[in-house]
Amino acid sequence: MAGQLKEVRNRIKSVQSTQQITKAMKMVSAAKLRRAQDAIIQMRPYAQKLQEMLSNIVSNVEGGASMKLAEERNVEKVLLIVVTSDRGLCGAYNSNVVKAAKFVIAEKYNSQFTKGNGVIWNIGKKGWESMTKSGYKTDAAHKDIYLNLSFENVQAAAQAAVKAFENKEFDAVEIVYSQFKNAATQAFVAEAFLPIPKVLPKAGAKKSDFIFEPNKEELIAELMPKILNTQLYKAVLDGNASEHGARMTAMDKASENANELLKSLKISYNRARQAAITTELTEIVSGAAALQG
């Protein structure tokens, strides 16, 4: 009986220690989430407007050397940029991003990946580990961006993808990431990166008339890479906020589960203690009765 009590006490101490860790991680994630949420909320309208403007320009300007990033080709070689996190303990966040990437591959690019013409660039170690383990051709050149998250580092990855597309190493580039909604909700999406998607004109809509200054070729050549840099940076910021939101939610649930487990263990401990006391009282009474007899 004493051994059973000791075992339950040890389990209670273990759960209490775990609960302290989960509460601390929740507080840290909440603080990081506030900063990450502010960053993506400020970036998103700017990035979306730039992307809309770029798609409109591409849709209304005739082709030429300056429009090669919008050139649609027969898709034989594909690049997926998959944005996950560097660390775990954030619920199903990483596995859901990986699942979304595998779904895109199965639905759109199965033949390319089967032939070995599909490559995955990972931003975040967890995605790289999972996709590599699953047998996909991965590239770890940009997986450590979250160690020093900055526009410059993301820009380097975006420009590497642009250069690879221009050199016809890939015919299509897509970003798979998690759009941040709130701490408990993320939307896992695949977004076209290259070629730059065009906006389909609505029925009866007039063609937009742009005035270019200094000139069309120079302006578009300058604008396109900058807007693409911003598009990838927005995706990475979305992923960063989603990670902290998912971790905060997961640690909150873990703390609640620890509370429930502690209640159950304390009931078990009290029952065992009560049984031990009852046994001791019974032994004392039996001994006293034996002596009297």
CB 121 within 8 A of CB 81: yes
The two beta strands, 118-123 and 138-139, are parallel
- Reply yes or no on whether 117 is catalytic: no
Query: What's phi and psi for 115, nearest 5 deg?
Result: -80, -5
Q: Which one is catalytic: 50, 78, 82, 90?
A: 90
Cα–Cα distances in angstroms (integers) from residue 243 to residues 25, 30, 39, 46, 190, in the given order: 13, 11, 14, 22, 17
Whole-number Å distance between alpha carbons of 138 and 76: 17
Phi-psi region of 157 (alpha: psi -120 to 50; beta: other; left: phi over 0): alpha
Q: Measuring CA to CA, which residue among 214, 183, 180, 205 is closest to residue 47?
A: 180
Enumerate the active-site residues. 90
